[in-house]
Chain A
């Protein structure tokens, strides 16, 4: 297992140090550029002459070297492809450069530790991006990641779990709070609503009202309630649309939150 550093294990209370990084940091310098001379597959030199038997051992060593060079060349092509794929996904999701860079760190780490075997580059890129978004507190749902990449939701989730396990990435469950800024701004709601929604979510978490519920649904309901309380109400339909959940889900979370946090009266005065 590989250690990506404590910042990726913010919630690992135990054994967070004394682990040695495996292998040296790798820089993706193109080191075979300009190498045009081929080492022939047969035992001939560039002039087609036979190679003296006593030099063949050396010749084989050269071929072995070239094989490595070829492989690393493919590795670099793959990295270039992965990074362009990452750029495409990131821009489609409107993510800041910092998140994209965090994702590239995860991806390179996966490559360095040979975790790509048997997996598609697109899948690992998507999973790296999903992890980076969460790590940077600007989460995207698996559906959103799957939408912009050419990977299914199932594969993004599976690859994410694999990377998390192999790279010792331990991220806490996505908090509904992290979805509030994005949903709020997309709904054109003022900052006060955001603050109020976050207060509601904090209260909900303490009363165990978020266990097992989808973070986006909780965030959506909290924002809806906050908008009503502050007199800048949005329709459930609009909130549902932005949050990517159904109106039924918002109603269910709404009912639960207002009942358990006794907000019935406040909501009535808000109307």
Chain B
């Protein structure tokens, strides 16, 4: 398997503190908060470090986006929950954090003729009128890749860093065997 380095660009994770929270109180207690129940049921909270955004729901579940590493994503959630604890002292210290999606970028170091790729490669969608990237859906690992004429690639949908890297490498090898690279 050809080694292709990838860079993690964004991580989405979720967690549940196991008990309900009064969002109106959270919005008063925290800075950088936006909350419009009519618009969206979740409260939006922006954390400086790690630079992330969290969505907090009244059910006690939350979503964290924007982290550049799995560690940062977990740190961000823990910091956010720590702040929530100033409102409710009974929020548990321990809870599960699930990585839901990893977005990574990579460079195949060669230009691609997307018209040819669209015709030869399976499971692709290429509509340059709408978007310059070609969408390539991989079944194993189950990820979606965006291939560009420059050879740059975006991989999304992975749950682990290994799957993101494996997805890019499988795409690279497939393009190689079809002589598209």
What residues make up the interface of A, taking CB atoms closer than 8 Å to B? 11, 13, 141-142, 157, 161, 172-174, 205, 208, 210-216
Contact = CB atoms under 8 A, between A and B. Distances in A.
A208 B127 contact: no
A-B pairs with the 8 shortest C-beta distances? A212-B132, A211-B149, A211-B114, A212-B149, A208-B113, A11-B119, A173-B126, A214-B129
B118 A212 contact: no
Interface of B: 111-115, 118-120, 125-130, 132-133, 148-149
A160 B149 CA distance: 24
Contacts of B111: 208, 211
20 contacts: A11-B119, A13-B119, A142-B129, A157-B130, A172-B118, A173-B118, A173-B128, A205-B115, A208-B113, A210-B128, A211-B112, A211-B114, A211-B115, A211-B132, A212-B128, A212-B133, A212-B148, A213-B128, A213-B132, A215-B129
Nearest to B115: A173
B132 to A, nearest CB: 3
A208 B128 CA distance: 13
Q: Which of B115, B127, B129, B130 has the most CB atoms of chain A within a 10 A radius of its CB? A: B129
A20 B125 CA distance: 25
A142 B128 contact: no
Given A11-B119, A172-B119, A212 B125 contact: no
Given A141-B129, A213-B132, 19 more contacts: A142-B129, A142-B130, A157-B127, A172-B118, A173-B115, A173-B126, A174-B129, A205-B115, A208-B149, A210-B128, A211-B111, A211-B114, A211-B132, A212-B114, A212-B128, A212-B133, A212-B148, A212-B149, A214-B128
Q: Report whether over half of chain B's contact residues are helix, strand or loop; otherwise say mixed.
A: loop
B125 A216 contact: no
A149 B149 CA distance: 33
Contacts of B148: 212
Contacts of A216: 129
Contacts of A161: 125
Contacts of A173: 114-115, 118, 126-128
Q: Report whether over half of chain A's contact residues are helix, strand or loop; otherwise say mixed.
A: loop
A190 to B, nearest CB: 27
A211 B152 CA distance: 13
Contacts of A141: 129
Contacts of B129: 141-142, 174, 214-216
A211 B111 CA distance: 10
Contacts of B125: 161
A161 B123 CA distance: 12
Contacts of B149: 208, 211-212
B130 A215 contact: no
A172 B127 CA distance: 9
A203 to B, nearest CB: 14
Nearest to A143: B129
Contacts of B126: 173
A240 to B, nearest CB: 16
A213 B113 CA distance: 12
Nearest to A12: B119
Nearest to A170: B119
A172 B115 contact: yes
A157 B111 CA distance: 27
Contacts of A210: 115, 128
A28 B160 CA distance: 52
Contacts of A214: 128-129
Contacts of B114: 173, 211-212
A9 to B, nearest CB: 11
A215 B119 contact: no
A137 to B, nearest CB: 15
Nearest to B112: A211
Nearest to A209: B149
A215 B111 CA distance: 19
Contacts of B130: 142, 157
A128 B129 CA distance: 17
Contacts of B112: 211
